[in-house]
Amino acid sequence: MRVVGVIQARMGSRRFPGKMLARLAGRPLLWHVVARMRQSVSLDHLMLATSTESGDDILAAFADGLDLPVFRGPEENVLGRFAGAAKCSGADVIVRINGDAPLVDPLLTDKLVARLVSEDADYVQAPPGVPCFHDGVDPMSRRILDRLVQEAGEDPLAREHVTGYLKAHPQFGKCATIEVEHVLRFPSPRLSIDVPEDLAFFEHLYQKFGAPPGHLDLRAVAAGFAMGALKREGTWG
C-alpha cells in the first residue's frame, strides 16, 4: 500500500498572485506545508503538483531545492494534475494537500489515512453533523481518483476541487468516518491563505503563540477559537 501526499499549488492565484512563495514567519508558504507534511508517518512519498505554465517555473525550482518531486500538468484541470501525479508515483492512496493551508496537520493526516486504509474506503471525513477544526488534507483511494477521471472528468467541481465532488455526491464512493478529537470538535473558520489579509492573520498567530516556523499547533489554535480568545480577524479578547 503506497500512500502519496500530493501538494496542490501554483503561483497564478487571481486574488493573491505569488502567494505560494510569500513569507510567513520568515519562510515561504510552500515550505511550511512541506515541513509539516514531512512529519507524517503515513506518507510514503510527498510531491508537488503544479501547472505547466511558465509562471510556475519558479515554484518548481523552489520545490527542487527542497528535494520535493514535481509533477506538472494543466493549469485549469486540478483533477488531471492529481491523476498524473498518482500515476507517476505509483500511488494506491492519494492525500490531497492544499498548498495554501499552513496549518495542515500530520497527526490528523495519519488518523485519516489509517481509517481510509482499515475500512478500504474511497475517502474519509468527520461524521455528519460533527465539526472538525482543520483544513487542507483529504485522503482518497486511487480507484476513486481513476473513477473521477473516467466518469466525472468534465465536471467543473471534480476538475477544480477533486474531493469536493465526492462530498457533493456521497454515493459516488465508499466513505469512512473518524472519531474527531475533542479539542478539534469546533467549527473551523477558513484556514487557508487566499488574500494578503489572510497571510497577515497567520503571521499574527505565529507571533501570539511564539511558534517557530512550521510548528504552529493546530490544536492550540482550535482551543483559542473555542474559548473565544481568537477571532478570524486576528484579534484577541
**Per-residue pLDDT band at 233 (split at 50, 70, 90):** low
Cα atoms in the 13 Å half-sphere on the side-chain side of 221: 31
Give the mean pLDDT of 171-177.
Answer: 96
pLDDT at 124: 96
Positive/negative CA dihedral, 68, 69, 74, 80: negative
pLDDT at 237: 38
Which pTM value belongs to this model? Answer: 0.94
Contact 24, 203 (CB under 8 A): yes
How far from each other are the two terminal CA atoms of the chain, in whole angstroms?
Answer: 47
Q: Which residues pair with 7 in a beta bridge?
A: 48, 97
Q: How far apart are CA 134 and CA 91, in angstroms?
A: 24
Specify the 3-state DSSP secondary structure of 128.
Answer: coil
- Domains contained in the chain, CATH given: 3-226 (3.90.550.10)
Q: Evaluate if residue 236 carries a pLDDT over 80.
A: no
C-alpha cell at 220: 492550540
**Per-residue pLDDT band at 176 (split at 50, 70, 90):** very high
pLDDT in tens, 1-56: 999 999 999 999 989 999 999 999 999 999 999 999 999 999 999 999 999 999 99
